A and B are shown apart, each in its own frame.
Chain A
Amino acid sequence: MMPFANLLAVIIILTSAIILLWFISLEIINSRKFMFFLPFFVLSTWLCFSATLNFYEIYDQRVWFVFELFWGILLLWILIILIKKKNV
């Protein structure tokens, strides 16, 4: 049986990922700027995957290496979009 703490962690991550996905999807629909919000969309979808995999307790470190690295790559993507806007 899965420990309660693990279950709770998974529920919290999954719920927040779905909330984020919901907000981002709404924003994409309203603003029609799909390409700008694409990294956020991928990020929140990725978070859902990550939470689900966490639920199954994947121990292979190589899997997590790719997963965690993808986070950084998506945030870099967001940062590049921000820098390109040049609203400084």
Chain B
Amino acid sequence: MARIKIMQTKTIISQKIWNKIKYVLYFCILALLIDSILLIFSYNFKSNKQISDASFRIKEVSNFKINEINSYFRKVENEMQLLSNSDEAKTLLKKQIVIDADVTKFNVDQKTKIIAKETDNYVKKHPNKTLEDLRNDPIFQEITVQTIGLDGYSLIENYEEQLLSFQKNGEFIGEKYKDIKTSSPELYKKLTENINSPDIFGFYDWIEPNGKVRKKYIHLIRTSNKTADGITLMVVTTAYVDNFKIIKESSPFNNLNNEDFNNLFLINPDGNFIYAKNVKEDVGSNLNWPVNKQLNLETSFGKVKKQNKIVFSDAYIDSYGEIYPKFTIISPVYEQNKLIGYVALIKNMNTLFKITKDTKNLGETGESYLVNREQDYLISPLRKNNFDMFVQTIDTENTNNCFLGKKNRNNILPNYEGELTIATHNIISEVPWCLITEINKNEISKISLKIEWLVSIALFLFFGFIGLLATTKIGKISIKEVGIKSISKFEEFFVKLKMNYIILFSLFFSIAYFFLITSFFQGWNNAAFYNDIPDLFTITILVIMFFYGFKLKNNYSKNKITQGSLLAVSDKLIQIVLQEYNYKFGLVSDYFWIPGAILSFFGLLLIFYGFKKEIKL
């Protein structure tokens, strides 16, 4: 009899536990059923769906970046506004400009060194060319014969014979040192006294054809390579001192210690480059000079004169040998509605590069870069750094559409290497640049395929297992005889478990789970911490709740709270995986968040019902 009673009690317990398991199974089946329907639905529209999803995400990334770029430009514009309204700028611009010999010397010296270096390189590169050949070579002429300042010039001298070989209008060709003995004795003395020196320079008075005497500065540098006919060349540059005008002032902008303001310039309404905070180059020159027509600053100066508002220049490479582009901002300065000059800032593009180089949400092949309108030049580094800025032109349908203000008809477009990408563009309003964002099409298909396989296998295993249990005898026996018995043993164990151990186990479980999952992706040290840490905390709490649920006396609340916390925790466990996947590849279809949301909803509902019962007890 006693044995029968024990058997009956066991059956009742088993029946109750079976009911409990049934609920969990129902919910799981429901969630997975919905998931599989959605999956089939998404599979049918796969090709378009994945591309449009990825395209949407790429657009989001691009919009995010363009907002950051625009806010950077706003910040720079505000700085400029402050500068143009500053008393320092106004005081300086109102000062008298003076002719400065030091500035002339600096400008001529700089120019001479550059011309001498380029001449030397050219002669070295063309060892078979004689002086006569070089004289007829237009490239050599372009290098050696230049205008310095407004009406100064450079020319080449035949060192051995002291013969002035070139001049722009041919005026000095063939003229010897002794010929200038009468017209400029001071210069003749300077040249002949230091005849053996490779570097001669100095000021002298020059009598103009109209009889007027003007002060000039000359600099001669001897090149080291000889022409094919054995002639040593000497670069001669000379400029009029009265060309270069500045204001004499010790740095009044010293309170602007920020290195952003290092390249600050002041320009008077006539275009004279009258002041620079830290650099000397080009100061004293005039932006209206024909020689400065090529300068980027001159182009912006022309614009600001016309538009009378803050103007941003295109990106440019400042000088020979530089590889990082810069851009300029010029603002007019007014006092009592009268234009008194312009203030200009030259900025490097590091902040913009930081924005474009950010590859978050761009997977493994996605990248953003800037292209300028004028020559379609690449003006920011690429993800792989495989092309040089200002060398590589980017002439794709995407850039063309961007500059024409057209929307892309197709989401899939070839990139600069001809690879098919999912591409988008954004035009920057302040400057003629385009932000291009692209991700390789193959990567999208690969990710989607991976997820599909993963989910398909999981679904197959789950339904296979359920089917096996439901349809075969093995299932029935295993659930009733083995499953329930072992679960009831576990239940007894859980009831007896102390609270301290529960907390310890929960903590251990969540930390171990974190390390396990991240090891499949980018490792624990590169995990999506911002998303994972709060989820791990929630997992710990829910696991504690799950174990605590078994301790409750009331069966109804016990069932509801254990089942509810189990469902809610499973959502969080799935979320960790998806977050890690999203963090690594940047693309997870939103369909995969839905089952978790459903599980979590039912979990919360069950916890709520269990809690309600507990409160009423």
Query: Which residues of B have CB within 8 Å of A31?
Result: 612, 615-616
Is B278 engaged at the interface, CB distance under 8 Å to the other chain?
A: no
Kindly identify, within residues 1 to 38 of chain A, every residue whose CB is under 8 Å from any CB belonging to chain B: 1-3, 5-6, 8-9, 12-13, 16-17, 19-20, 23-24, 27, 31, 33, 36-37
User: Chain A binding site: helix, strand, loop or mixed by DSSP?
Assistant: helix
CB of B195 to closest CB in A, whole Å? 72
Q: Does B351 contact A (CB under 8 A)?
A: no
Which residues from B are CB-within-8-Å of A87? 552-554, 557, 614, 617
CB contact under 8 A between A6 and B590, given known A23-B605, A24-B608, A57-B60: yes
B598 partner residues in chain A, CB cutoff 8 A:
12, 16
Is A36 in contact with B615, judged by CB distance below 8 angstroms?
yes
Residues of B within 8 A of A17 (CB): 601
Check B530–A65 contact: CB distance below 8 A. yes
Question: Chain A contacts of B601 at CB under 8 A?
Answer: 12-13, 16-17, 19-20
C-alpha gap A33/B616 in the complex (Å):
10
Docked Cα-Cα span, A41 to B542, in Å, equals: 18
Tell me the nearest residue of chain B to A78, going by C-beta. B611
Once bound together, how far apart are the Cα atoms of A45 and B541, in whole Å? 20
B70 CB → nearest A CB, Å: 17
Please, which residues of chain A bring their CB within 8 A of the CB of B537? Answer: 69, 72
Query: Contact flags (1/0) for B589-614 with A, using CB distance below 8 Å?
Result: 11101100110010011011001101
Number of interface residues of B (CB under 8 A): 48
Chain A residue with minimal CB distance to B34? Answer: A12
**For A8, what are the chain B residues with a Cβ–Cβ distance below 8 Å?**
38, 590-591, 594
Q: How far is the CB of B47 from chain A (nearest CB, A)?
A: 15
Would B553 and A43 count as touching, CB distance under 8 A? no
Assembled-state Cα–Cα distance A78/B533 (Å): 20
Q: How far is the CA of A65 from the CA of B531 in the complex (A)?
A: 6
Binds A, one of B176-184, B202-210, B543-551: B543-551
Q: Check B552–A88 contact: CB distance below 8 A.
A: yes
Q: Pick the most buried of A36, A67, A76, A82: most chain B CB atoms within 10 A of its CB.
A: A82
List chain B residues, Cβ under 8 A from A1: 56
| Contact call A79/B541, Cβ cutoff below 8 A | yes
B614 contacts A5, CB within 8 Å? no
Task: Tell yes or no: B308 within 8 A of A by CB.
Answer: no
Measured between alpha carbons, how far is A78 from B606 in the docked complex, in Å?
Answer: 13
Chain A residue numbers with a CB within 8 Å of B611 are: 40, 78, 81-82
Least CB separation from A39: chain B residue: B611
Question: For A16, what are the chain B residues with a Cβ–Cβ distance below 8 Å?
Answer: 597-598, 601
Interface-central residue, B42, B56, B530, B544, by most chain A CB under 10 Å: B530
Q: Known A3-B590, A87-B554; judge A82-B608 contact (CB<8 A).
A: no
Asked if A20 and B531 sit within 8 Å, CB to CB, the answer is: no
With both beta carbons as reference points, the residue of chain B lying nearest to A15 in the complex is identified as B601
The interface of chain B, by Cβ under 8 A from chain A, is 38, 42, 52-53, 56, 60, 64, 361, 499, 528, 530-531, 533-535, 537-538, 540-542, 544-545, 548, 551-554, 557, 561, 568, 589-591, 593-594, 597-598, 601, 604-605, 607-608, 611-612, 614-617
In the complex, 16 of the A-B residue pairs with CB atoms within 8 angstroms, ordered by the A residue number, are A3-B56, A8-B590, A12-B597, A12-B598, A20-B605, A20-B608, A31-B616, A64-B531, A65-B531, A67-B534, A69-B537, A72-B537, A75-B542, A78-B545, A82-B545, A85-B615
Q: Which 3 A-B pairs have the closest CB atoms?
A: A68-B534, A5-B590, A16-B601
Additional 18 contacts, C-beta under 8 A, given A6-B590, A71-B538: A2-B56, A3-B53, A5-B42, A5-B594, A12-B597, A13-B601, A27-B612, A43-B604, A59-B60, A59-B64, A64-B531, A65-B533, A72-B537, A72-B538, A75-B541, A76-B541, A79-B545, A81-B615
